[in-house]
Amino acid sequence: MKFDPSLISFVAISKRRREILQKLSERAMSQPEIKKLTGMYKTHTSRTLSDLVNKKLIVCINPQDRAFKFYKITPLGKRILEEVNRIIS
């Protein structure tokens, strides 16, 4: 599967994006759980999740639920995270 190389820089330049992708690579999580584990403000968590969904790096498992959404990483998100981790380390 091909991907846009700009996705690597999109993730690499943001500690928040990398951190959320890393957490979601372990298991699916809710937004409040991600917020708690990362220590981010609610607005930063929400905005970052939205950015990652728009780039198809993560998906919302239950988009119809307005109060308690769960997110998981996509195969594309895993590939991008692996590439970013390889470059950074």
**pLDDT tens per residue, range 1-57:** 567 889 999 999 999 999 999 999 999 999 999 999 999 999 999 999 999 999 999
* Length, in residues, of the chain: 89
Taking 3-state DSSP, the helix, strand and coil percentages for the chain, each rounded to the nearest 5, stand at: 60, 10, 30
User: What ranges do the domains of the chain cover?
Assistant: 6-88
pLDDT at 1: 56
pLDDT at 89: 83
* Residue with the larger pLDDT of the pair 89 and 35: 35
67: pLDDT confidence band, cut at 50, 70 and 90?
confident
68: pLDDT confidence band, cut at 50, 70 and 90?
confident
Q: Which residues pair with 72 in a beta bridge?
A: 59
CATH topology of domain 6-88: Arc Repressor Mutant, subunit A (1.10.10)
Q: What's at 55, amino acid-wise?
A: K
